[in-house]
A and B are shown apart, each in its own frame.
Chain A
Amino acid sequence: MDMNEIKEIFFQECEEQLAELESGLLRLNDGDRDPETVNAVFRAVHSIKGGAGAFGLDDLVSFAHVFETTLDCVRSNKLAPSQDVLKVMLKSADVLADLTNVARDGGSFDQARSTQLIRELEALAKGEAPPAAPAGEPAAPKAAAAKSAPVAAAAPAEPAANEHGFMPVAFSFDDFGGDDVEAVSELPAYEIAFKPKSDLYTKGNEATLLLRDLSRLGEMSIHCNMDSLPPLDQMEPETAYFSWKISLKTDKGEDAVRQVFEFAEWDCDLDVIAVDAGESVDDAESDQAMQPVPFDLSALDDEPDAPLGVIEEEEQAAAAQERDATVAAAQMASNVVQMAGNAARAGAGDKAAAAAAQNTAQQAAAAPTIRVDLDRVDRLINLVGELVINQAMLSQSVIENDSNGVSSINMGLEELQQLTREIQDSVMAIRAQPVKPVFQRMARTVREIADITGKSVRLVTEGENTEVDKTVIDKLAEPLTHMIRNAVDHGLETPEKRLAAGKSAEGTVKLTAKHRSGRIVIELSDDGAGINREKVRQKAIDNDLIAADANLSDEEIDNMIFHAGFSTADKVSDLSGRGVGMDVVKRSIQALGGRINISSKPGHGSVFTMSLPLTLAVLDGMVVTVAGQTLVVPLTAIVETLQPDAAAIHSFGATQRLISIRNSFCPLVDVGRILNFRATQANPVEGVALLVESEGGGQRALMVDAIQGQRQVVIKSLEANYTHVPGIAAATILGDGRVALILDVDAVVSASRGQSLHLEASLAAAG
């Protein structure tokens, strides 16, 4: 494994940590005051800092460090996580994400922004009011600064608190009873209790090395505590049993001591206590109030002293056999990831042990996951697709050769069919991911836009655990971002207008996801002013999209905003309103095989509803025959199928034909002609018409020769080995092993409107 691969893993982990960080901060924002949430947030930043340090990513490290320091103040209850504090932190999380991206992909980031945030964070950490935001900054931080001041003042005044919430260890020699000479010779002393957890070793750390590093700081004596060592036959070889008590005299300061354990901090119980020279160890230890930030205090910290000195391992094991088995069990329970029940039993009555047990129980509750390369999953999906096709081919040939109908082979084949379908579903489920990450990104978008527009916005998300194929998720972010921007920028009113309209100053944008009949439905609603239909209508008339006297329903007017080149914003803002907005959104949703709708209530806001397929790998299609060729028409596009009646066909001009359906006329499109499969138009009466609805709302009747049936097909890319073909969306492989083309309904419809199918496209030209 080379450095780059390791780095790539680091960045992958960063992404997870950043997600963890953001969701933790959002939980805090919602009023969650669980110390574990604060810890999780802190851990995320700490891990990023640690990893970044290992790769020499200095920008990332320095920012993460400041962030971490401030978070530590929250963790040690010196800084209340008020809304304003969290606002700064959420922004810091965004900057941290930016810095991570820059570290990975290169590019530049907003140096001013990160410097500004570093200042704000430092101010928060010091318990000061943040400096007034510079002119260019949005108004929000100013409010944050003003409001957070009282909170900060309430925090204990520790002006120069360092990263761990400690005063730098400054020794006043006056304390030493006037004996200056002795005091100078005596270096500051620390009592360090170091108890590794098993994880420390699993992560490749080594207690010996840590202790050796520590010994370099000064004069040191070590006591190894082996009380917890169980009898040999009960010993788990991969478990940590030892703990150490170290007395260290060093002038390097406590920071240096902690630095030694920096990367092991989360996998051990560590107490560093500064003791006055000459003061007894026991005094310091018994004085619990003096203990610093309480790291997970293990049940046995107050156990009687262990035999001193470092003993060879064999001897330790032998000695351990004599130890009380209960002690061993309790110790194991408290520092080994174990069944929660065991731990609770062993540590009954001991609060610390119970807490540890609860911790392990929580860890155990999270389902174990593995990280898998997406390519491998894709390969598996491809292979399963093959299996499905092969199975279909097999069934088909058995049916062809077996006229008796019910045979054991047929029964077996049916079971095989069910199995393959099940396998296919399970494999698809591997790719399915909750929409949560995308929703989280939206939270950031909302924050940024709210800042820029000066509006106060709350994003409510629902159903973020709804699962959908990863490819869909990846392509969802962009249109969703755009819609969120629109919702905040255009949808929501300014706080003043909201108050005037009798609403709360804070606008709400709600994002929900749910499954509905095999599709995922994503709804984005705002409680803003709704669509100004008069304005939209006027704009549409101005842009020659509709006639001035056109009679449009409210719904039709609302849907006008999806037209290209349409924007009702009075002024073009940075965010939206360039008129490339909603039509692009609509197109990208449609490219995903989805549909988008808007409904709006003046004064009450708008709701955008998107319905998307759960996967892009398979498609429900209608298999049809056109000019001897088999084609697949996506089922979602088909409104109805009908057998045209000669009387219903009307010629219109030289080549056009219309079909009358329930007294309305619909253009008839011969698919075979459009795709150049035949030179002349087929006789509509001999075929079947598929009524399709296309982008732009218009309906068309597509003429095909015959319908073979409906089936789910696996989508295969044509572009991979060939090139894009106008009128064809993709290919698939049918039961007979042959390739069938999937019709691009929208392209065919627009071709029928007289827009050419790009016939002169390169290929034809080249041929």
Chain B
Amino acid sequence: MTVHAKNLPNGARELIAFRIGNQEFCVNVMSVREIRGWTPATPMPHAPQYVLGVINLRGAVLPIIDLSARLGMRAAEPTVRHVIIVTQVGERVVGLLVEAVSDILTISDDDIQPTPDMTSEFERTFARGILAIEGRMICLIELDAVFPHSESEAA
């Protein structure tokens, strides 16, 4: 599945929305390279629990992050119905395991509401904002925070 950038009015952006459990999240389309089905990953030694391992993406070694576990929720039990959203931030390409892709949204920056003032780590690190679309609440994910390399560089 490939996504082409369309001509969008100023300030507008396209997001890909997906489900984990009964919650909805989204990321910017521009950072999504492709979406593919789940394939078993090779486990990495000494990896944090949310890193499921690495898979072969046309010759590149792609780490797979269980987004559910990463966000502090129940670890996923991957099935063939799960999908991997291949995202790119900076130079790195990382796959995010989610349950299903639900929607492509076109929103303007004004639609993004600041995350409510809560003290959980989740809200501080991973949520960039929340969206209200047709009565649903969708959380915009801060991809930088999800990727493991940010910590490793700090260490």
On A, residues with C-beta under 8 Å from B are 382-383, 385-386, 389, 629-630, 675-677, 716-718, 720-728, 731, 733, 737-741, 757, 759, 761-767
Task: Please tell me if the beta carbons of A762 and B155 are within 8 angstroms of each other in the complex.
Answer: yes
Task: Please tell me if the beta carbons of A725 and B45 are within 8 angstroms of each other in the complex.
Answer: yes
Q: What A residues does B104 contact at CB under 8 A?
A: none
Task: Please tell me if the beta carbons of A731 and B47 are within 8 angstroms of each other in the complex.
Answer: no
Q: What B residues does A629 contact at CB under 8 A?
A: 42-43
Most buried by B among A717, A727, A731: A731
18 contacts across the A-B interface (CB closer than 8 A): A630-B42, A722-B92, A722-B148, A722-B149, A723-B148, A723-B152, A725-B44, A726-B46, A737-B56, A738-B55, A738-B56, A741-B44, A757-B46, A759-B46, A762-B151, A762-B152, A763-B152, A765-B155
Q: What A residues does B47 contact at CB under 8 A?
A: 725, 763-764, 767
Task: Please tell me if the beta carbons of B61 and A764 are within 8 angstroms of each other in the complex.
Answer: no
Q: What A residues does B151 contact at CB under 8 A?
A: 762-763, 765-766
Task: Please tell me if the beta carbons of B59 and A733 are within 8 angstroms of each other in the complex.
Answer: yes
* Interface pairs A-B: 10 shortest CB-CB: A767-B48, A762-B155, A675-B45, A766-B151, A723-B152, A722-B63, A762-B152, A739-B42, A386-B59, A731-B61
CA distance A725 to B55 in the complex (A): 15
CA distance A765 to B63 in the complex (A): 18
CA distance A477 to B148 in the complex (A): 34
Q: What B residues does A382 contact at CB under 8 A?
A: 59
CA distance A740 to B46 in the complex (A): 15
Most buried by A among B41, B94, B152: B152
Q: Is B49 positioned at the interface, with any CB of A under 8 Å from its CB?
A: yes
Count contacts between A and B, CB distance < 8 Å: 107
CB contact between B46 and one of A385, A721, A737, A761 (< 8 Å): that residue: A761
Please name 15 further chain A to chain B contacts, defined as beta carbons within 8 Å, in addition to the given A722-B92, A739-B56, sorted by A numbering.
Answer: A382-B59, A677-B43, A718-B54, A720-B60, A726-B46, A733-B59, A739-B41, A739-B42, A739-B54, A741-B42, A761-B152, A761-B155, A762-B155, A763-B151, A765-B151
Q: What B residues does A723 contact at CB under 8 A?
A: 148-149, 152
Task: Please tell me if the beta carbons of A389 and B59 are within 8 angstroms of each other in the complex.
Answer: yes
Q: What A residues does B118 contact at CB under 8 A?
A: none
Q: Is B58 positioned at the interface, with any CB of A under 8 Å from its CB?
A: yes
CB distance from A447 to the nearest CB of B (A): 40
Q: What A residues does B43 contact at CB under 8 A?
A: 629, 677
Q: Is B50 positioned at the interface, with any CB of A under 8 Å from its CB?
A: yes
CB distance from B88 to the nearest CB of A (A): 9
CB distance from A636 to the nearest CB of B (A): 22
From 58 to 90 in chain B, residues with beta carbon under 8 angstroms from any chain A beta carbon are 58-63
CA distance A764 to B44 in the complex (A): 11
Q: What B residues does A385 contact at CB under 8 A?
A: 59
- Could you mark each residue 21-59 of chain B with 1 if its beta carbon is under 8 Å from any beta carbon of chain A, else 0? 000000000000000000011111111111101111011
CA distance A494 to B154 in the complex (A): 49
CB distance from A392 to the nearest CB of B (A): 12
